[in-house]
Amino acid sequence: MKKTVTTLADGRELLYYDSRDDVVRDAVDRRPLDAVSTSSEIRRDPLLGDSVAIASHRQGRTYHPPADECPLCPSRDGRLSEIPDDQYDVVVFENRFPSLAGDSGRCEVVCFTSDHDASFAGLTEEQATLVLGAWTDRTAELAELPQVKQVFCFENRGAEIGVTLGHPHGQIYAYPFVTPRTELMLRSMEAHRERTGGNLFDDVVARELADGDRVVLTGEHWVAFVPYAAHWPYEVHLYPRRRVPDLRALDDAARTEFAQVYLELLRRFDRIFGPGEPPTPYIAAWHQAPFGVAGREEFGLHLELFTIRRTSGKLKFLAGSESGMSVFINDVPPEAAAQRLREVASE
């Protein structure tokens, strides 16, 4: 993997990740851009104890542009975009409309391919491995920023999820605090260790493998299963068999196999609801250990992949119980979801 660091016309950082070492990236951003101005701030909720990012400048962000005006496509035929070069493998750049900025953290955009009409599921194993390399590199660099406490790599896919740009891409949020979900995991991890002497993440994976009903697929280095108490209609957790706290700690064998396993999972997601159905909307979220917390080496890196579509043409809405009380009600039994995801395996 070759990495080239450059800057855009307004001073934001842009990084090219290429699979070939002989690629030269010297294109210049020729757009007349003003410096980015943000008003992001973090406010603490005194009742719940969590944090909210207030970012009013995001009201003006790009919203469902036509394909020929996509800001994530390469700059071609006289049309200038966020990527100055006329083609790329993987690109990461600072978000022009960040939720977090400065002392409040950092937000980045990850473009998986220059092909506007592609999807992550359609990438080759080499391309998917390159994306994993970019996620890992960004995790390592953002971990060095003094204000950053946790790095979150994720992909939102589909208009139903709220995606406003159709180009295949994801994001990276570098938070200045430990997120509420991770705080809950850390507390559960500590309570489990005190109660049993074991590691929570190891024991969860071992339980699912022993039970087998919710296992979707397994590899030599990865295992994917629907969790026992799945929140979402179709939800899969992907764990490396050798527990590590974050992406930086994966070994070469796990990195190589990741592309095979993850691409298969994404392709199965697109088959859940049968032929002729539109692509399945989903969120893919990497859970990594935060920095500077006690017991971070006990944390288990994993990816959570889920869709809000519960059946053909119907979405799972977060209504009163979910939004008002954070108590999820799942219409699809996890065992049935796992069975369906086994049935739609690629041939």
Q: How far is the C-alpha of 157 from the C-alpha of 163, rounded, in Å?
A: 6
Catalytic, out of 57, 167, 169, 237: 169
Q: Which residues of 218-236 are buried (b: 16+ CB within 10 A; e: fewer)?
A: ebebbbbbbbeebbbbbbb
Nearest-angstrom CA–CA distance, 166 and 173: 20
Contacting residues for 230 by C-beta, under 8 A, at least 6 apart: 306, 330, 332, 334, 337
Integer Cα distance of 192 and 215 in angstroms: 23
CA distance 182 to 63: 30
Best CA proximity match to 64, nearest among 158, 170, 172 = 158
Measured in degrees and rounded to the nearest 5, phi and psi for residue 28 equal -105, 140
Q: Tokens standing for 246?
A: 């974050």
Residue 129 is given by DSSP the state H
| Whether 167 is catalytic | no
What end-to-end distance do the CA atoms of the chain give, in Å?
31
Instruction: Copy the structure tokens of residue 171.
Output: 């994001």
Kindly list the catalytic residues: 169
